[in-house]
Structure 1
């Protein structure tokens, strides 16, 4: 059963499912961040720090997008 609150539809869903899906996004984010860190430490790549910053910004944006998509999927956010 769905209930309406403003323009958003709120569904009765298993909160554990949502937590698991969001947790998977954070695990992916952590793995990607670890790769950047390993690259910096292993290569001592401080001159390339700007490219790493850009990569990290991109994975942050992707993480935000994935979480937003999950919340849209379950009716907690609008598209």
Structure 2
């Protein structure tokens, strides 16, 4: 019984591998996801990108840095 299950899972994995390699054609995710999105943009040439200044970057979190230590007040529990 277990041999048949292992053989079935092996065949399913081989079929999934062949499918993802494109044997049956390109996958639906390979194409553009929103083809009409670019056509609906309003004045895309007016988009401007500017670098951030030091004053703007103070609100951003530092990724990978140590977590800030918050003061915690502790008190004895009353019974």
* Bin of the TM-score, shorter chain as denominator length: under 0.3
**Whose helix fraction is larger, Structure 1's or Structure 2's?**
1
Higher Cα radius of gyration: 2
Tell me which of the two structures has the higher relative contact order, counting C-alpha pairs closer than 8 angstroms and 6 or more residues apart. 1
**Whose strand fraction is larger, Structure 1's or Structure 2's?**
1
